[in-house]
């Protein structure tokens, strides 16, 4: 059987399965439970499980298979991955807590409860980038090469992780009657919008967009861009996606006429485009004899 056909068939099957799983929850026929299962007094939440799943798939399926494209040792990269994860998780939580400080000022113990939600993607990118940069220097690796291999895994992890927002009933958009509207339980509805039952599933918008970006990045890796080029395109594409989705979300903090996430996205896009322009169009690709 043709491998390309098999990939498309598996992808289509996955989409159908996800649809039939989510459909009754979107309609309100079933109520979402943030807890996947319980082991004695310990509750294991979907959010934490999906983060763990995205990490495992990101490294063992994506990073290990792509390491050879940049002549990197997959086993050595595991050390860098661990440091990047630590920095990413700390950065994600720290950024979220800073932006939502009034929620935590009287509940400091809740700051460490990351499995219940409350992570900032931009904080994760910043924290993960800094610790990855540090780790590549320790292990004498080229940061740009490592980043090019990491970003497809990162965006795939973001796509998977967004479903954690669904189970937590958070990060959704405004009320809507569109066919793909999502039912939100009364206790999770925003103040002032309690009378509305269905909202924009912005987690799904970002998840679908992230999956598309994942395949674009895989294609860019094959084009032999200069080291760091795939990283730059990841930052541009994801930031553009996030900028667009923010117009629909209703839980974001604003500054002036845009959300803070949109300002951050614009800054990242500008810096990434500037970096790419330093590599003139004729110098974007590696020489054939490299």
Query: Which pTM was predicted?
Result: 0.87
Element at 258 (helix H, strand E): strand 258-259
Count CB atoms within 10 A of the CB of residue 185: 11
**Is the residue at 2 inside a domain?**
no
Question: Is 162 labelled as part of a ligand binding site?
Answer: yes
Q: What is the DSSP string of 14-52?
A: HHHHHHHHHHHHHHTSS---SEEEEETTEEEEHHHHHHH
**Is the residue at 225 inside a domain?**
yes
What pLDDT score was predicted for residue 29? 87
Number of independent structural domains in the chain:
1
**Is the residue at 232 inside a domain?**
yes
**Is the residue at 153 inside a domain?**
yes
**Is the residue at 12 inside a domain?**
no
What pLDDT score was predicted for residue 290? 46
**Is the residue at 287 inside a domain?**
no
Q: What is the pLDDT along the chain (290 residues), one digit of tens a residue?
A: 566 667 677 777 888 888 888 889 898 888 888 888 888 888 888 988 998 999 999 998 899 889 988 889 888 999 999 999 999 989 988 888 887 777 777 777 777 777 666 778 888 999 999 999 999 999 999 999 999 999 999 999 999 999 999 999 988 999 999 999 999 999 999 888 999 999 999 999 999 999 999 999 999 998 878 889 999 999 999 999 999 999 999 888 788 889 999 999 999 999 999 988 876 544 555 554 44
**Is the residue at 92 inside a domain?**
yes
**Is the residue at 1 inside a domain?**
no
Long-range contact pairs involving 264-273 (C-beta distance under 8 Å, separation at least 24)? 264/122, 264/239, 265/122, 265/239, 265/240, 266/239, 268/122, 268/125, 268/235, 268/236, 268/239, 269/235, 269/236, 269/239, 269/240, 269/243, 271/235, 272/232, 272/233, 272/235, 272/236, 272/239, 273/236
Distance of CA 88 to the CA centre of its chain: 11
* Tokens linked to 183: 């039912």
Q: Residue 126 belongs to what domain range?
A: 21-280
């Amino acid at each position: 059987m043709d491998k390309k056909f098999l990939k498309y068939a598996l992808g289509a099957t996955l989409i159908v399965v996800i649809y039939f799983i989510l459909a009754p929850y979107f309609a309100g026929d079933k109520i979402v439970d943030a807890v996947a299962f319980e082991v004695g007094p310990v509750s294991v939440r979907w959010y934490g499980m999906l983060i763990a799943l995205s990490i495992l798939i990101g490294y063992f399926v994506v990073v290990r298979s792509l390491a050879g494209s940049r002549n990197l040792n997959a086993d050595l990269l595991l050390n860098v991955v661990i440091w990047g994860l630590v920095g990413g998780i700390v950065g994600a939580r720290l950024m979220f807590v800073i932006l939502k400080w009034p929620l935590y000022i009287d509940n400091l113990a809740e700051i460490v409860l990351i499995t219940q939600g409350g992570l900032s993607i931009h904080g994760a990118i910043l924290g993960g980038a800094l610790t990855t940069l540090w780790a590549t220097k320790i292990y004498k690796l080229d940061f740009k090469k490592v980043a090019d291999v990491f970003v497809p895994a990162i965006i795939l992890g973001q796509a998977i992780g967004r479903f954690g927002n669904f189970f937590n009933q958070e990060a959704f958009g405004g009320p809507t009657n569109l066919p793909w509207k999502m039912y939100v339980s009364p206790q999770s509805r925003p103040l002032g919008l309690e009378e509305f039952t269905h909202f924009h599933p912005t987690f799904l918008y970002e998840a679908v967009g992230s999956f598309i970006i994942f395949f674009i990045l895989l294609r860019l890796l094959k084009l032999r861009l200069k080291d760091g080029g795939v990283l730059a395109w990841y930052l541009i594409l994801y930031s553009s996606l996030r900028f667009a989705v923010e117009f629909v979300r209703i839980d974001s903090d604003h500054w002036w006429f845009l959300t803070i996430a949109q300002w951050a996205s614009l800054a990242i896009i500008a810096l990434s485009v500037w970096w790419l322009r330093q590599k003139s169009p004729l110098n974007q690709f590696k020489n054939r004899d490299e």
